């Protein structure tokens, strides 16, 4: 499938109905393990659901507290990510229930239940498949926002010139994009950073308010001729104080910060708006840079070297 | 107190005996809230203790799951950090036990118990005071490592030329330092980034293996004449796979990555080694850049604008 079309399948993916059969009352906390394009689903979910502690892991090991009161959701598109398999295996030994979301591979074999998702995608363009089984199982009420999200994605597509103009600004700056957001949409900034890495083959950075006001404001506030960053902020409607902080940061740092307003009537909607926006933005920058957005062969090279 | 001497008081601070009087069995999970130089203690503690879920918060709000089974530790050196006060106030309303570590301010008034620490320091140079009450209360067995940590800090001081040579390399590169580490010492890379921001007044970045191998390796692997970063990795002894990943990353990216080996017989020791090393490194870079390491007046300016 052409990669742009692959990105756009998100609109169908968020209708995905795969789910697990568990009784949530049996668990004290939820641990979501996954790396890179697979792991982002956990970060995103931890921002839209907090009725139980959700701990996101991007590590080989799992914490000492894991027990039969722990629900583990292990996400690996390939099903062969070594960190996720290692973490899930440890959790299983400690008595946790291990659910997996994967298109195949070893992970499904070591888990108690698996939702098998379609193969043939890049992990980073299968976010809907990776995310919806978590939502369908743990917070199905969030499905009420799906229609609105689809409408918002359609709006973004109908106004793509706006994204193209931002992509030109980033490209022509020759700088490293620095994406800013704040809770509960920090995952949007992080996702956008990783999409610029993989799609546009660009170094990129992500930072979250108000934390960066407590340290990074110091160098931002200096007259940095050498500032290598171009700043882009995703503004949600859930923190008046952080909106104000963004304004003051702009003023005190004298930096041109491009602000993208996240549209949507819920946290879930605003996050999905930002993620689709950022995905398309990174795609357009890839085109301007004349790089193949789908290609991440160096990651395969690393995996090959790791296994030798 | 001269700022270098202030940094060096860490060796006395880690003997600090302040503690809370609680029964840990009454709580299902621990939530540590704090920002910037105060918040780092929570990140650090979450890497050395995992017998119960430790959730680190750098936000204005606290999650829905907070209840009377939640132990909240709110850290704010000044005691007046608005995010931490807001988060602690919400937690209190939800029935949580709120402990605070502070030198004064409003925070102590709204908490169930407070450990009052000495005033007159910069928050970032009071890490021992901010951290030890958590350890003394929740994981006192970690105090067994204090003597070793003091010995390691003395070793670093006796070999400061090594740090000075790295500081020159960073300064002369004219680049933005990018600090890399991995669990369970990711907090070292993050701390070092923030210390470069505040002490050396430099933009800086932090990234964690193996996560960055799943995205950032792509642009790192390209022939980036324009790469604005100089890479410094803190290597712990707790993950053979990530050590291997660091080597392969170096090779595939053709980047010169300066490696600092974290010394110590425990995770706690290795983290404290790295933190002191990074603190002194940032101090020397500040001297080379002829900036005043203690000064962070722009953060005060922002707080003033926020309160108007």
pLDDT at A246: 98
Interface of A with B in 66-85 (CB under 8 A): 82-83
Average pLDDT over residues A263-269: 98
Of B60, B64, B221, the CB nearest to A298: B221
Average pLDDT over residues B294-304: 92
| Cβ pair A241:B60 closer than 8 A | yes
Q: How far apart are CA A173 and CA A256, in angstroms?
A: 12
Q: How far apart are CA A90 and CA A62, in angstroms?
A: 6
Average pLDDT over residues B154-178: 96
CB B171 within 8 A of CB B288: yes
Query: What residues form DSSP beta bridges with A97?
Result: A71
pLDDT at A224: 72
Q: Which two tokens stand for residue A259?
A: 């602000």
Which of left, alpha, beta for A290 (phi over 0: left; psi -120 to 50: alpha)?
Answer: left
Any idea which of A218-222, B100-104, B108-112, B113-117 has the lowest mean pLDDT?
A218-222
- The angle, 0 to 180 degrees and rounded to 10, between the axes of the packed helices B267-289 and B160-173 is 50
Give catalytic status of residue B162 as yes or no. Answer: no
Q: How far apart are CA A193 and CA A174, in angstroms?
A: 16
pLDDT at B308: 83
pLDDT at B66: 98
* Nearest chain B CA: its distance from A19 CA (Å): 23
Of A29, A221, A228, the CB nearest to B176: A228
* Nearest chain A CA: its distance from B150 CA (Å): 27
Q: Residue B160 pLDDT more than 90?
A: yes
Q: Which two tokens stand for residue B153?
A: 């800090």
In sequence order, what are the residues at sequence separation of 6 or more whose Cβ sits closer than 8 angstroms to the Cβ of residue A159? Answer: none
Query: Exposed, middle or buried, A255 (CB in 10 Å: 0-12/13-18/19+)?
Result: middle
Q: Is the peptide bond before B210 cis (omega within 30 degrees of 0)?
A: yes
Q: Residue A135 pLDDT more than 90?
A: yes
Any idea which of B221-225, B260-264, B279-283 has the lowest mean pLDDT?
B221-225
* Nearest chain B CA: its distance from A216 CA (Å): 5
| Nearest residue on chain B to A222, alpha-carbon basis | B201
A143, A127, A126, A146: which is closest to A135 by C-alpha?
Answer: A143
Which of left, alpha, beta for A264 (phi over 0: left; psi -120 to 50: alpha)?
Answer: left
Average pLDDT over residues B231-259: 96
CA distances for A157 relative to A154, A194, B252, B278, B297, angstroms: 5, 21, 37, 46, 44
Q: What percent of chain B has pLDDT over 90?
A: 97
Mean pLDDT, chain B, whole residue set: 96
Interface of B with A in 269-298 (CB under 8 A): 296, 298
Average pLDDT over residues A2-30: 97
Cα Rg of chain A, angstroms: 19
Q: Residue B221 pLDDT more than 90?
A: no
pLDDT at A226: 77
In sequence order, what are the residues at sequence separation of 6 or more whose Cβ sits closer than 8 angstroms to the Cβ of residue B175? Answer: B227, B228, B229, B230
CB B259 within 8 A of CB B277: no
CA distances for A265 relative to A155, A162, A238, angstroms: 14, 21, 11
Give catalytic residues of A, as residue numbers. 198, 214, 303
Q: Indicate the DSSP class of residue A263.
A: P
Q: Which two tokens stand for residue B283?
A: 């101090």
Q: Residue A150 pLDDT more than 90?
A: yes
End-to-end CA distance of chain B: 31
CB A18 within 8 A of CB A48: no
Mean pLDDT, chain A, whole residue set: 96
Q: Which domains, ranges and CATH numbers included, belong to chain B?
A: 3-138 (3.40.50.10490), 146-289 (3.40.50.10490)
Q: How far apart are CA B164 and CA B168, in angstroms?
A: 6
Q: Residue A223 pLDDT more than 90?
A: no
* pLDDT tens figures, A176-204: 999 999 999 999 999 999 999 999 999 99
Of B29, B197, B229, the CB nearest to A216: B197
Q: What percent of chain A has pLDDT over 90?
A: 97
Chain B residues with beta carbon closer than 8 angstroms to that of A267: none
Query: Exposed, middle or buried, A123 (CB in 10 Å: 0-12/13-18/19+)?
Result: buried
Q: Residue A50 pLDDT more than 80?
A: yes
pLDDT at B177: 97
| Nearest residue on chain A to B225, alpha-carbon basis | A174
Outline where chain A has alpha helix (H): 3-8, 10-13, 36-48, 82-93, 106-110, 127-138, 146-158, 160-173, 186-198, 217-220, 240-253, 267-289, 297-306
Q: Is B306 on the interface with A (CB under 8 A)?
A: yes
Cα Rg of chain B, angstroms: 19
| Cβ pair A226:B301 closer than 8 A | no
Q: What percent of chain A has pLDDT over 70?
A: 100
* pLDDT tens figures, B10-66: 999 999 999 999 999 999 999 999 999 999 999 999 999 999 999 999 999 999 999
pLDDT at A284: 98
pLDDT at A24: 98
Q: Residue B225 pLDDT more than 90?
A: no
């Amino acid at each position: 499938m052409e990669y742009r079309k692959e990105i756009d399948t998100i609109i169908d993916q968020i209708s995905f109905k795969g789910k697990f059969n568990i009784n949530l009352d049996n668990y004290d906390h939820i641990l979501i393990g996954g790396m890179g394009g697979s792991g982002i689903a956990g970060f995103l979910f931890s921002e839209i659901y907090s009725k139980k502690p959700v701990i996101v892991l991007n590590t080989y090991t799992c914490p000492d507290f894991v027990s039969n009161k722990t629900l583990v959701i292990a996400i690996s598109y390939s099903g062969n990510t070594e960190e996720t398999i290692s973490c899930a295996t440890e959790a299983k030994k400690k008595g946790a229930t291990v659910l997996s979301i994967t298109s195949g591979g070893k992970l499904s074999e070591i888990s108690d239940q698996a939702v098998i998702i379609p193969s043939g995608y890049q992990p980073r363009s299968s976010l809907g498949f990776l995310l919806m089984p978590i939502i369908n199982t743990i917070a199905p009420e969030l499905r009420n926002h799906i229609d609105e999200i689809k409408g918002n994605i359609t709006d973004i597509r109908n106004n793509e010139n706006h994204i193209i103009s931002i992509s030109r600004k980033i490209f022509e700056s020759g700088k490293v994009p620095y994406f800013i957001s704040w809770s509960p949409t920090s995952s949007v900034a992080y996702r956008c950073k990783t999409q610029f890495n993989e799609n546009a083959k660009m170094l990129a950075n992500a930072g979250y308010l108000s934390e960066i006001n407590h340290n990074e404001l110091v160098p931002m506030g200096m007259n940095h001729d050498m500032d290598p960053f171009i700043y882009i902020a995703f503004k949600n409607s859930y923190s008046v104080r952080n909106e104000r902080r963004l304004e003051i940061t702009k003023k005190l740092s004298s930096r041109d910060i491009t602000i993208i307003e996240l549209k949507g009537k819920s946290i879930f909607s605003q996050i999905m708006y930002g993620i689709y926006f950022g995905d398309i933005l990174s795609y357009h920058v890839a085109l301007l840079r004349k790089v193949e957005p789908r290609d991440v062969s160096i990651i395969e090279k690393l995996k090959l070297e790791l296994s030798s």
